[in-house]
Amino acid sequence: MKTWIALLLVLSLPFAAMAQEEKKEGEGAEVDKVAYYSLVPALVGNFGAGPKLKFFKADIALQVKGADAEKIVEHHDPLIRNQLVMLFSQQTEETMNGQDGKEKLRQEALKQVQDVLNQEEGKPVVDDLLFNNLIIQ
CB-based contact 31:14 (threshold 8 Å)? no
Whether 63 and 126 map to the same domain: the answer is yes
Q: Tens-of-pLDDT digits for all 137 residues of the chain?
A: 555 454 444 455 454 544 555 555 555 555 579 999 999 999 999 998 878 889 999 999 999 999 999 999 999 999 999 999 999 999 988 888 889 999 999 999 999 999 999 999 999 999 999 999 999 98
pTM: 0.76
pLDDT value at position 27?
A: 54
**Domains in the chain: how many in total?**
2
Whether 122 and 62 map to the same domain: the answer is yes
* Cβ neighbours around 39 below 10 Å, total: 19
* H or E stretch covering 127: strand 126-136
pLDDT value at position 94?
A: 83
Q: 3-class DSSP state for residue 124? A: coil
Range of the domain at 120: 34-136
Whether 86 and 75 map to the same domain: the answer is yes
Whether 53 and 70 map to the same domain: the answer is yes
Whether 79 and 57 map to the same domain: the answer is yes
Whether 26 and 79 map to the same domain: the answer is no
